[in-house]
Chains A and B, each alone.
Chain A
Amino acid sequence: MNINSSVLLSKYIKAYTLKMVSKAKASHIGGGLSISDILAVLYNNILYFDSQKPLLDNRDRFILSKGHCCAALYATLALKNFFTMRDLNSFAQFGSNFMSHASHKVKGVEFSTGSLGHGLPYAVGKAVAAKSRNKKWEVFVLLSDGELNEGSNWEATLFASHHNLNNLTIIVDYNKLQSLTTVEKTIKIEPLKDKFEAFGCYVSEVNGHDHEELKNSLSKTNKKNSPKVIIAHTVKGKGVSFMENRIEWHYKSPDEDQLKMALNEIGVML
């Protein structure tokens, strides 16, 4: 599929994510929808890649640390022609490489994730590799807000800042909901911007559904001599009114009627 508008791409990502999760009766549609705009901007406007050469040496590296939201990543990669849209039908099926946590066995997926707190250290390792080889490619890693409870992220941030890894961009999908309740009621992470700044990062806060804000903040020209952190304020379940900000859509999958209603709201019928 050839889609050159990030806004249109994001609609298709949401639609296919909904369809995949519904068919597989899988979880995590809420988080999938909250990162769809970020993925659309990254893959449409920011990352350098060749979908026919997924291991191209000078590609930018993207790591989805919140691996439970992989359906949205698989949909994005299919829409960008890493594989066919039909391949998505095997999502979470027996024997499929498209398992319901991010799998490196899928073309275009750099790293398997699923347990939180693993993506950022790995991304830092890649950023160190690029620096030590004087490579120009960059590393982008997408974390969840609840994931910041994991101490490994803060170990990695300390290291990245100490070594001035300005080829590393950390994006936080700040949808404010965790597994059981809000981030605020689980483990407070505010003041988040101050925390990352205190760790030595260059931090910006954006509306994670505003494509222009995302493009500006993610732009490779917008950098300092330190790792970049983008706190993307998002809505869990974005785009589907009965899913937005509802904790249960961390787990539930839409039935056929709910899928139709959701696709209708997104404005893409598959």
Chain B
Amino acid sequence: MRNYFIDLLTKEAKSNNKIMLMVGDLGFSVVENFKEKYPKQFINAGVAEQNMTGMAAGLASEKFHVFTYSIANFNTFRCSEQIRNDIDYHNYNVTVVSVGGGLSYGALGYSHHAIQDYALMRSFPNMTIYAPGTRSEIANCMKQIFKSKSPAYLRLGKTLPKNLKKPNQPHDHAPGKWTKILECKNRESRKCILTTGAVIDDAVKMQKKEEFSNYHIYSLPIWGMKYKTLQAQQINKWDEIVTLEDHLEDGGFGSYILECNSSIQKVGETKIKLKSLNKNVCNTVGDQDNLKEHFKFAH
């Protein structure tokens, strides 16, 4: 995912000299090409995320579109007040790019488990969350980010889905809009699994089980506080929605959908169930797949 992201950013930088990529001394074997091609649009801020984020605000105030790149938690939680006050409050054009979303770096321990980042980033009024799950979603998220003039959080997982043969996706993912990923056999079914981020494979596996064979798969890759009002109509279409996210339940994506549901005038009763990571994952290390299996994620 990160390689595709950097390819798209490098292409954009060719025609847009306002792009500025800042890294927190991370990105080995990812950012080198960008740095070589556009050295004046690349800054290694060192291991200093507070300063990197504050500087990003300063650069954005002078009309740069800044991307702050690091492993999730480092460029989010470590500098959360800089994101809150310096970027979001001033509505600056800064995109926080986190790699290792969810349990991508599961073996590296709790410091590298990015499982509370949605809770933090969705609490900022001007922030849009971009959590792509497929190659097409990455491309469309980047397209929206390049058009946007507001704060953004791009959360990248480790790998693209392997179990999705023919994703049924439009070329444009408008912010706040759900995207059909995979229909179930019963086209008339009014049940769906709604994902965000790099959990499409998990949703496909879920759908293969008898219990969820009657559920379509949809994703919502672009969301945030600004798009809550767009959810009512989409939620109302369904009898049942199961949200799926590689994040803790509290403050996460499922919570977001529940909040949206609670504030709408209901046409019918939509049952919403949340599937997220077990909190005990905080005290366990291991490969992402092993951790998910061990804690029965998406079961």
Q: Hey, which bits of chain A sit against chain B, CB under 8 A?
A: 104, 110-115, 117-118, 120-130, 132-133, 151-152, 155-156, 158-159
Contact = CB atoms under 8 A, between A and B. Distances in A.
Contact of B61 (A111, A117, A152): A111
B50 A155 contact: yes
B55 A156 contact: yes
Interface string B33-68: 000000010010110101111111111111010000
A124 B90 contact: no
A111 B59 contact: no
B58 A124 contact: yes
Interface of B: 40, 43, 45-46, 48, 50-62, 64, 81-82, 85-86, 89-90
A115 B55 contact: no
Contact of B54 (A110, A114, A122): A122
A268 B52 CA distance: 44
Contacts of B60: 125
Contacts of B89: 112
B162 to A, nearest CB: 40
Contacts of B40: 132
6 contacts: A118-B85, A129-B61, A152-B51, A155-B46, A159-B51, A159-B55
Contacts of B85: 112-115, 118
Contacts of B82: 118, 121, 152
B62 A129 contact: yes
A129 B64 contact: yes
B64 A156 contact: no
Contacts of A152: 50-51, 54, 82
A121 B53 contact: yes
A121 B59 contact: no
B59 A129 contact: yes
A115 B81 contact: yes
Given A125-B59, A132-B40, 9 more contacts: A104-B90, A117-B50, A118-B85, A122-B54, A125-B62, A128-B58, A129-B58, A130-B62, A158-B51
Nearest to B59: A125
A160 to B, nearest CB: 9
Contact of B43 (A120, A121, A126, A128): A128
A110 B92 CA distance: 13
A97 to B, nearest CB: 14
